[in-house]
Amino acid sequence: MKTRTLLFSSSLAIWLVGCLVLFSATRWQGGTGLLLRQLAAGAVGLSLGLALAQLELKRLRQLTWPLFGAGLCSLAVVLVAGTSAKGAQRWLSLGPLGTIQPSEPMKLLLVLALAHLMTRFPARRAGGFLLAWVLTGGAFLMVAAQPDLGTGLVLVAVAFGMLWVAGASPFYLAGVAVGGLGALTFVLKEYQRDRIMVFLHPDLDPMGQGYSLMQSLTAIGSGQLFGRGLLAGHLTQQGFVPENWTDFAFTVVGEELGLAGSLGLLLLCALQLGSLLAIAWRSQDYPRLLATGVAVMLGFQLSVNLAMTMGLAPVVGIPLPLVSYGGSALITNLAALGLVAGLARRSQPRQAAMHPLPLRQRLPLAG
């Protein structure tokens, strides 16, 4: 099976699982409105992904800075005139079309910007390394100000992954990581500090900050091996797990499909990420950085969401890619996958594919 076919098949299967999860999680509310909106967003995302798959890389690079600039402007508008919900100001109203969350497409826009930048200013040089962090830092600060620390961490993870593949010094990367962890204490809001404390001591506030985590663990554990059956999860159908159609969507899989269904979903995710990494492995320079950035973007969100849901990480606002409800996230992810599928169509097998050196050494960037 061709890599791009495997990428498309696994991604489509994950999205279909997400539609089932959304229908089950919101059925107790007595409507299918969220599912219909998610299907509409999926149609938009697929169309955009197909368009990006056909777009010439030269044209894509020409559009990079205008698109990235527009993304930063939209983040600035959110801070001034955005729509607020649950203490966060992250959305722009589009009238009858609903809302858009500009921080979601910024993930892909940062991938495009860093890939373009690092092929002109190599990351192994101090100038290119600093420029990459200027772009990332600007986007991170604007997203964190909403506040949306989860999305900000995705941006940072994307930068780290792409810089490492581009040949940046591990010592420089380690220095940035240590400095970032030190500065994080000044960025965290009070409720985010409370979430960390609840993660360390789940029984500290079982009916407040710790409620979602305790209910999540209960729902996943109650599914046992084969689950209670689709649409038959007691906690899911009665709405006991907060946000189980967004950040805690995996709890529906765990309760209704059990360990077997959860492992099946994880296998699909592994096939998807493996396809992305295989495309990056066969590519070089600009296409390689694009594929790497998308793989890190999706892989980091997947890892953190699962860890958060199972009590292995503090609760942060990171959705499960292609599964959690959210039109902006779904469109962004499908567009990113379409872009990489286009890279796979253009790439050719190379003689160096079996070379024993690590990827970042055997495929140095030009310049």
What number of CA atoms fall less than 13 Å from residue 2's CA on the CB side? Answer: 12
d(CA 363, CA 367): 12
Percent of the chain with pLDDT over 70: 89
Distance between first and last Cα of the chain = 35
Strand order in the sheet with 83-85: 83-85, 88-93, 99-100
**10-residue averages of pLDDT along the chain (367 residues):** 87 95 83 86 94 92 96 92 75 81 95 95 91 95 88 95 94 91 75 71 64 86 90 86 89 94 96 95 92 97 93 86 94 96 71 42 44
CA distances to 106, 273, 316 from 152, in Å: 10, 21, 11
d(CA 56, CA 285): 15
- Give SS3 for 93: strand
Tokens of 145: 């100000």
pLDDT at 205: 60
Angle at 35 between CA 33 and CA 36, to 5 degrees: 65
Domain-wise residue ranges, the chain:
3-347
d(CA 181, CA 159): 15
pLDDT at 181: 83
Q: Give the CA radius of gyration of the chain.
A: 20
Report the amino acid identity of residue 118: M
Number of residues that make up the chain: 367
d(CA 352, CA 354): 6
pLDDT at 162: 96
Long-range contacts: 186-191, Cβ < 8 Å, 24+? 187/144, 187/149, 188/149, 189/147, 189/149, 191/87
pLDDT at 97: 75
From the CB of residue 95, how many other CB atoms can be counted at a distance below 10 Å? 6
Is 35 within 8 Å of 23 (Cβ atoms)? yes
Report the amino acid identity of residue 45: G
Read off the pTM: 0.90
d(CA 189, CA 181): 15
Angle at 292 between CA 360 and CA 259, to 5 degrees: 115
Residue where the block lists tokens 């779904």? 330
